[in-house]
Structures are given as C-alpha cells and as structure tokens.
Amino acid sequence: MFAHLLACVLVSSVLDYGRAVPEPDRTFFNEEHRLVTNLMKNYNKWIRPVLAHNDSLNVKFGLSILGIEDLDETSQVLTLHAWLRMSWMDLQLAWSPKDYAGVLSLRLPITEIWSPDIHLYNSLDGDFSYSYDALPVVYSTGMVMWIPQLRLRNRCSMDLSNFPFDTQKCTLRFGSWTYDQSKLNLTAFNEYNNLDLGVFKEHSEFELVHAQHVRSVRKYDCCPELYPDIEFNLELKRRSAYSTHLYLAPAIVVCLLTPFIFILPHGTGDKMMFGVGLILGHILLFNQLEQFIPSGFPNMPNISAYLITNLVLGAMAVVFSAINANLWSKSQHSKPVPGVIRSVFLGVLGRLMCIRRDDYIPVEEAERPMHRVLELQADVSLDSDPNDHDNMMKSYSRLTTTAEWRQLAAILDRLLFFLLTISVIMVGISLAHH
C-alpha cells in the first residue's frame, strides 16, 4: 500500500515539473518582425518626427526625369514621367542594430508612416497622387529614403515665334502644401546634381538641352509664413528636321516661285492661272499651319508672318500681271506710248533690261515684210506712188506703236521680276535672322 502511494506521488511530481517548463515564445516570426512591431507600437503618423514642436524638419528633395511623354502646343501642357527622391530623419523609427540581430534597414508602407506633403504647385491634375506601391527604405539611424514614381502634367507657357526652330522653357515647382519653413525646411537632395538625367529617355520631337534647379523662399498673400520651394527649369529644343520638311520647305518653294509669274508669256492666260495657283498654295500652307499652332496664341510665329508677306507679294504680282496684260492688249490700238513713258521706260530702262523694240514688232500682222517698209522709209524715189508710200508709213507706224506697248509690258515684267525676287530674298533673310 505504501509503495503504491509513493509511486503516485512520484508520477504527480514529474507531471507538475513538466508543466512548469515555459514554452518557447512564438509571437515574433523573426527579428524584423519584432523590430517592426516595437517601432509601430506607439507610432503616430500624423505627427512630424521632431523632438520639439517648434523644430523645423529638414527634407531633402530631388527629381529624376525618366522621359517626356508629350509637349502639347495647343493646350500648352508638358507631360513627363519622373522619380521623386525624398529623404528625412524620423527619430521615431530609429533603433540599435545590435538589439535586433544586426538589422540595418526596413521597408515599410508609406501610408503607415509620416511623409512630407510635397506637391507640384503648377500641376494641372487635381489629384496629385504618388505611386504608393513604392516602399520607403528606413535605416537604423532614423533616416527615411522614399523614391516614388509619378506622371507629371503641368502648364508650360510656350513661345512659338521661332517655330520650327523654337526652344521652350518649362518650370516644375515643388514645395510643401501646408508646412511653412518653420515646420519643414525643403532643401536640394544634391546641391550640384539635384536633377538626375541618368535614366532619361530622349523624346522624338524635343531635345532636353539644359536643366537646372533653383531653391526659393516665397511669401503668399494667403499666409504670413514663408514657404520654401524648389524649381526645376527645363529647356527643350525642337528637333526641326520633321517640321522643316513638312512646313518650311513647301513655304519657301511656293514663295520662290512667285517672281516667275513675270517670266511667263503674254496672251496665253498662263500668268493668271499661275498667280491664282500661288495664292491657293499659300492658303493651303496657312491651313496646314493652323492645325498645328493654336488660334489663340498671343504671338504670331515668324513663319506665319513670312507666309503673309509672301501672300501679299503674290497678290501684288497678280495685280501687276493684270496691268501688264492690259498694256499688252493696248498694243492693238493705234494710240502711241506717251512721250515721258517712252523716254524713261523704253529709253533708259529698255537699255538696262536689254529689251529692244524690234523684238516685239508683230511681223505676221504686217501687210508687207518689214524690210520692205524700211526700204521705203529710207529711199523714197520719185517714181514711187505717194499713196503706196503713205500706206506703208501708216502700217509701219502702227507696227512700231504695237511694238512699243509690248516692249513696255516686257520691260515692266522684267523689272518687276527683279524687284519681286529681291523682295522674296529679303523676306527670307529676315525670317532666318529672327
């Protein structure tokens, strides 16, 4: 009996001893799990991570442009893809690595920790949102590094005066939406290379020729505090090869053809057809240019002024061609060229333009060959019939009058050809100079 009682006591003691041994703590999966749990236990993401409420938190900010999606001339909107680089010290997230098996950094959701409210001030998107799937890196010192990716759309005031050789300047201005300088001190991520173009992909139409950043502190009408911001100034130069072939080359060709309206012969109607074709060509060029340049643009592009000037020259060429056609038709009448016009145009300008009257005598309309008329004029014999002589002289006078009117029209054609050619060249030089 005693032995049985002793055995029961021994068994009970063994069972009690087994229950007294503590089981291993399986609350934490690993050291990072334990670290995150301890850091977030009393963390408040709505409070700036500073020791005193009147301390200013330093936030470093930088920009890496991935590529330009579009620069729309009509709406004057620049669209690009970029990475933002932000870093700040969060003392609530600092720890000692030796207490957590040497863990030096963590990745936490940005929505679970405090982050600066940096916005693009001149954004056209009402919802300026980051790519929240980009996790910030938190280091043991408390430094937080966050590089979100986002699509930026901002207003870019464009100057198309020198289209298609224009250079556009666009500004991206970033800053805190609510924190003034006494609460958040925004500084450049890297003083000498704040704008990273290492991953930049070239655009097909615009070339990024220059980029720089400027830090400013501004005072707004709404608030008495000072607000810091960082501006990124981009200088974009248009690749003019496509625009030159599509817009400028046809315009130059049409304008250079304008003086040749005075080279075409009279009496065929080719001058008027050619002139009307030039005017229609200018109108088509205007229509093509209007589809590209917005109608409400404040400044007229130089190429538009070039087309307008040459359109006026073309219209003047048509008018002068009509006047010359009228002079040519006057050659059918017997009224001679006035003396002053004969002296100035047929005499002086005729010799300068190398245009002779005899080249325009309509021999086919003469009743007799011209050499016979000249013979009668040079040698009037007594045996000749006076009536025959008078008829020949009248015929000769009519032919010379016709030749003089046609010579005058030809001189004016050649004079206007040279003047219009010089005008077209001067207008082209003026366009190239601007």
Per-residue model confidence (pLDDT) at position 50: 92
| Mean pLDDT in order along the chain per 10 residues (434 residues) | 47 46 53 91 92 92 89 86 92 93 92 92 73 84 93 86 86 92 89 66 85 88 88 89 78 87 77 86 83 68 83 86 73 62 62 60 50 51 52 59 69 84 84 67
Longest dimension (CA), the chain: 192
Per-residue b or e along 135-162, where b marks 16 or more CB atoms closer than 10 Å to that residue's CB: ebebbbeebbebbbebebbbebebebbe
What is the CB neighbour count within 10 angstroms for residue 364? 5
Among candidates 215, 242, 206, which has minimal Cα distance to 79?
206
Q: Are 248 and 303 in contact (CB under 8 A)?
A: yes
Per-residue model confidence (pLDDT) at position 200: 79
Per-residue model confidence (pLDDT) at position 193: 57
Q: Show the tokens assigned to 185.
A: 């001190």
| Helix pair 386-433, 302-330: axis angle to 10 deg | 180
Characterize the bridge pairing of strands 195-196 and 57-72: parallel
| Helix pair 249-257, 270-290: axis angle to 10 deg | 160
Q: Are 110 and 136 in contact (CB under 8 A)?
A: yes
Q: What residues does each domain of the chain span?
A: 31-238, 243-433
User: What is the identity of the amino acid at 19?
Assistant: R
Could you please state the CATH topology (level 3) that the domain comprising 31-238 is classified under: Acetylcholine Binding Protein; Chain: A, (2.70.170)
Q: How far apart are CA 243 and CA 214, in angstroms?
A: 33
Per-residue model confidence (pLDDT) at position 368: 47
pTM of the model: 0.69
Per-residue model confidence (pLDDT) at position 324: 75
CA–centroid distance for 187 within its chain? 31
- Residue 224 phi, psi dihedral angles, 5° rounding: -80, -15
Q: Which helix (H) or strand (E) holds 23?
A: none
Query: For tokens 């916005």, what's the residue?
Result: 119
Q: Which helix (H) or strand (E) holds 2?
A: helix 2-20
Helices (H), 139-237: none
Q: Show the tokens assigned to 418.
A: 């040279």
Per-residue model confidence (pLDDT) at position 14: 43
Identify the three-state secondary structure at position 148: coil
* Contacting residues for 204 by C-beta, under 8 A, at least 6 apart: 239
Q: How far apart are CA 212 and CA 40, in angstroms?
A: 39
What is the CB neighbour count within 10 angstroms for residue 329? 13
Q: What is the DSSP string of 291-331?
A: TTS-TT-SS--HHHHHHHHHHHHHHHHHHHHHHHHHHHHHT
Among candidates 226, 230, 236, which has minimal Cα distance to 215?
230
Per-residue model confidence (pLDDT) at position 127: 61
Per-residue model confidence (pLDDT) at position 98: 93
